[in-house]
Chains A and B, each alone.
Chain A
């Protein structure tokens, strides 16, 4: 049974039409009354906060889950996808946020993996190579097919994923937060690729919460909020703040500038810090930084350029040479615990790996790292009453949405887990905060709340070492920005005289300049 839908505006036929889509999970409504109309040959952005239902919707369109209500129409044909292979057969392809590539296979092997061309049961690499070369030419990608994927950078890996999806015959591409891992230059390249794709007649559905990019690249925009589609618009009909308000449903708190000057006391003094890396190259090389009271020093850099090793070395988790002084106390030879006691606090890169005990209740998570504090002890025993009390305070002050402090951490959304981790770090009133991606993966409202907390602690004299991949966050919060490339600090910049694009070229090593 198929119904043919004629194009609505008479210009372009519809590639995808979703109407009345609803999806419930026991106890939660993930999607309801979702309507989405995507014109063929356009870049269609879907924006919304985390938890607005974007991913659920895309999983429905890609056949990873079945909607409870509503219809999916692709190229005029009503579809019932039971699995992604049904969606692929209908010409839909998905580029995931986390790449699904096998590192030790070559680019060619990765592209054909899962849809290997064969002639009489024998792998036909020659025709595959021809096909892939022509696909690459059409999207303007230039990849060496014979090197292992492990040698590729993030942007190139993403292009491999895109070519792979096209090789499978997709004409409708779903890209889930494709720019989250890219530096500005790579973002521009990606957008060029997307434009060539749509010129070729393909359709791109682009999921993002970066509004500037959405406004720059898309033809149509659909806004989602609380599980449903709330608005459809076009970039020429709306501005950034208007879009943000549609996403959040109310006016955004505007970031306040500094009201207090940077202090003179040196809170964190890093001298000639070096961390040995793999293959004989240092992961961190001869890094010297000073952060004063009330100062936020931002570390800009493409991930994997030594930021993680720098932070863990400061905490004494990773071995290093050089000196670290916290609040005048030389902690170079001290244990991790002693460094926390000296005044350090840490918001980790990866809250699941480094920060949380997912199956433990929130109050035990909030206690982690503070269990030696006499406030939370009763003789040799844990004082559960004060620990729970303190957790309740964190929950209230940082707006962690949870039924209670005994709820296990895994039951919380990522944003609320992050708020707990941030609260745990700030509630000790540290003199130095090492904040790695403090707002990664959390929604706009929570992001503003975390920024406010960091700012107010800074105003009270806390020094912050801020590592972030979000250039807006770096430029907005930092008093000074140090660019880290290949384990070294390659530039120290004033955020007031630099744009995101300029910062990006420092980060990729294209510009290496002394202090500006």
Chain B
């Protein structure tokens, strides 16, 4: 079948085998469709800005100018970090058609437990940090295990249970915090857990601007890629997502995969707030720990098509848009417009993707037939 183009032997020939070529073609189409979607979204947003009486060109040039500075790029990476974790957590579930909407509850629960546990430990620096991470992962997975149990044994759909468990988590966290974990040595004025010792503080990559959690995020993405796309376990996970009936017919236990996928998803959620807990606030606190990353992670995962590279790129895009919101406000563009732009991007990407996938599938089928026809003739 590979008669033309690729000569035999040599490393280049290996890369240019038809499968790789079509893989590249797929990636190129994916990238092009995502870029197209972002362009469409920016056009719609420009119309929106014009409607509210702002000059869209001014607004966009503000975004580009302020975003181009080194500090802003660091800010972009900082803001992207929790989004990457959150999106990976969501994507693990998506890969087998499990919708974990409960990342928020899972990561906040994990943040509280990890911050509290970390403040009681006295360990040398890298080990202390590692232990906190492990505690966070276990706590996140533990919270997600409730939804897993409900799904497998009571057949409760995970969308329902994880959404509702977000509310339960907020109440449980508040109760635990107020009654047990709040550091009241300052006479009740402090609204955080006990501050972490120095050995538990994540070192900065760039002083005061970006801490090591960004590197951890990239490592987690790499592991996500290895596990989901390359491992035998990941194959079973994706098979269950492709066709649950076929997977269970082939002897892949749907219950087992559901439980493991939700536990991994919850475990990855545990990382989301660690940037704040270990690197910025050095504690958990209702006002110090950000709460908005659960749903943003769904958007980032969708935008990145649950693909490792896509997730990093779209988290950076979201981080970039977030990082420019202050300057936009100075230019009298309301912060909410940035959120609207993000939402429009996600919507257009989902729509454009759907259309692209459909067209690509048709083209793939046609190409297969054409190749066969050509092969049959020769």
Q: Which one of B234, B238, B246 lies within 8 Å of A356 (CB-CB)? A: B246
Are the CB atoms of A27 and B367 closer together than 8 Å? yes
Query: Please, how many angstroms separate the alpha-carbon atoms of A359 and B241 in the complex?
Result: 11
* Given contacts A340-B251, A406-B19, A406-B22, A371 and B236 within 8 Å (CB-CB): yes
Among A40-48, A209-217, A258-266, A347-355, the one that faces the other chain is A347-355
Q: Residue B124 at the A interface, CB < 8 A?
A: no
1/0 per residue B350-378: CB within 8 Å of A? 00000000000100111111111101000
Of chain B, the residue at the smallest CB distance from A349 is: B249
Are the CB atoms of A353 and B246 closer together than 8 Å? yes
Of chain B, the residue at the smallest CB distance from A373 is: B232
Are the CB atoms of A407 and B368 closer together than 8 Å? yes
Interface residues of A in 452-502 (CB under 8 A from B): none
Are the CB atoms of B249 and A354 closer together than 8 Å? yes
Q: In the complex, how many angstroms separate the beta carbon of A2 from the nearest chain B beta carbon?
A: 36
Q: Residue A358 at the B interface, CB < 8 A?
A: yes
Q: Residue B231 at the A interface, CB < 8 A?
A: yes
Query: Please, how many angstroms separate the alpha-carbon atoms of A358 and B23 in the complex?
Result: 17
Are the CB atoms of B243 and A317 closer together than 8 Å? no
Query: Please, how many angstroms separate the alpha-carbon atoms of A336 and B254 in the complex?
Result: 11
* Given contacts A27-B366, A337-B251, A410-B365, A382 and B243 within 8 Å (CB-CB): no
Q: Residue B180 at the A interface, CB < 8 A?
A: no
Are the CB atoms of B243 and A357 closer together than 8 Å? yes
Q: Number of residues in A with C-beta < 8 Å to the partner?
A: 45
Are the CB atoms of B361 and A381 closer together than 8 Å? no
Q: Which one of A312, A348, A358, A372 lies within 8 Å of B232 (CB-CB)? A: A372
Q: In the complex, how many angstroms separate the beta carbon of A399 from the nearest chain B beta carbon?
A: 12
Are the CB atoms of A382 and B230 closer together than 8 Å? yes
Q: B251, B370, B372, B375: which has the most chain A beta carbons within 10 Å?
A: B251
Q: Residue B252 at the A interface, CB < 8 A?
A: yes
List residues of chain B with CB within 8 A of the CB of A367: 235
Are the CB atoms of B246 and A368 closer together than 8 Å? yes
Q: Residue A510 at the B interface, CB < 8 A?
A: no
Are the CB atoms of A369 and B375 closer together than 8 Å? no
Are the CB atoms of B364 and A368 closer together than 8 Å? no
Query: Please, how many angstroms separate the alpha-carbon atoms of A69 and B375 in the complex?
Result: 26
Q: B23, B234, B369: which has the most chain A beta carbons within 10 Å?
A: B369
Q: Residue A315 at the B interface, CB < 8 A?
A: yes
Q: Residue A252 at the B interface, CB < 8 A?
A: no
Query: Please, how many angstroms separate the alpha-carbon atoms of A408 and B253 in the complex?
Result: 24
Q: Residue A429 at the B interface, CB < 8 A?
A: no
* Given contacts A357-B243, A364-B235, A382-B230, A28 and B370 within 8 Å (CB-CB): yes
* Given contacts A368-B239, A380-B232, A336 and B248 within 8 Å (CB-CB): yes
List residues of chain B with CB within 8 A of the CB of A150: none
Are the CB atoms of B248 and A411 closer together than 8 Å? no
Are the CB atoms of B232 and A371 closer together than 8 Å? yes
Query: Please, how many angstroms separate the alpha-carbon atoms of A405 and B277 in the complex?
Result: 48
List residues of chain B with CB within 8 A of the CB of A359: 242, 361
Q: In the complex, how many angstroms separate the beta carbon of B24 from the nearest chain A beta carbon?
A: 12
Q: Residue B189 at the A interface, CB < 8 A?
A: no
Are the CB atoms of B232 and A382 closer together than 8 Å? yes
Query: Please, how many angstroms separate the alpha-carbon atoms of A372 and B231 in the complex?
Result: 11
1/0 per residue B210-249: CB within 8 Å of A? 0000000000000000100011111110110011011111
Are the CB atoms of A348 and B243 closer together than 8 Å? no
Q: Residue A335 at the B interface, CB < 8 A?
A: yes
List residues of chain A with CB within 8 A of the CB of B1: 403-404
Interface residues of B in 262-285 (CB under 8 A from A): none
Q: In the complex, how many angstroms separate the beta carbon of A120 from the nearest chain B beta carbon?
A: 44
Of chain A, the residue at the smallest CB distance from B364 is: A411
Query: Please, how many angstroms separate the alpha-carbon atoms of A380 and B238 in the complex?
Result: 15
Q: In the complex, how many angstroms separate the beta carbon of B295 from the nearest chain A beta carbon?
A: 27
* Given contacts A371-B236, A382-B232, A411-B364, A403 and B375 within 8 Å (CB-CB): yes
Are the CB atoms of A404 and B19 closer together than 8 Å? yes
List residues of chain A with CB within 8 A of the CB of B247: 357, 368
Query: Please, how many angstroms separate the alpha-carbon atoms of A357 and B249 in the complex?
Result: 12
List residues of chain A with CB within 8 A of the CB of B242: 357-360
Of chain A, the residue at the smallest CB distance from B369 is: A28
Interface residues of A in 356-391 (CB under 8 A from B): 356-361, 364, 367-369, 371-372, 376-377, 380-382
List residues of chain A with CB within 8 A of the CB of B235: 364, 367, 371, 382
Query: Please, how many angstroms separate the alpha-carbon atoms of A25 and B1 in the complex?
Result: 22
Q: In the complex, how many angstroms separate the beta carbon of A408 from the nearest chain B beta carbon?
A: 6
Q: In the complex, how many angstroms separate the beta carbon of A97 from the nearest chain B beta carbon?
A: 21
* Given contacts A359-B361, A364-B235, A381-B232, A403 and B368 within 8 Å (CB-CB): yes
Q: Residue A402 at the B interface, CB < 8 A?
A: yes
Are the CB atoms of A335 and B251 closer together than 8 Å? yes
Query: Please, how many angstroms separate the alpha-carbon atoms of A357 and B238 in the complex?
Result: 10
Interface residues of A in 412-438 (CB under 8 A from B): 412
Query: Please, how many angstroms separate the alpha-carbon atoms of A113 and B369 in the complex?
Result: 38
List residues of chain B with CB within 8 A of the CB of A121: none
Are the CB atoms of B232 and A369 closer together than 8 Å? no
Q: In the complex, how many angstroms separate the beta carbon of B52 from the nearest chain A beta carbon?
A: 42
Q: Residue B18 at the A interface, CB < 8 A?
A: yes
Q: Which 10 A-B pairs have the closest CB atoms?
A: A337-B251, A369-B250, A357-B242, A27-B370, A406-B19, A411-B368, A403-B371, A336-B251, A27-B366, A411-B365
For the A-B complex with A368-B250, A382-B234, A403-B367 known, give 15 more contacts whose Cβ atoms are closer than 8 Å. A27-B373, A337-B253, A353-B243, A357-B246, A357-B247, A360-B242, A382-B231, A382-B232, A403-B368, A403-B375, A406-B19, A406-B22, A408-B361, A408-B364, A411-B364
B residues adjacent to A (C-beta < 8 A) = 1, 18-19, 22-23, 226, 230-236, 238-239, 242-243, 245-253, 361, 364-373, 375
Q: Can you list 18 A-B contacts (CB < 8 A)?
A: A27-B373, A338-B251, A354-B249, A355-B249, A360-B242, A364-B235, A368-B250, A369-B250, A371-B236, A371-B239, A380-B231, A380-B232, A381-B231, A403-B368, A404-B1, A406-B19, A407-B364, A408-B364
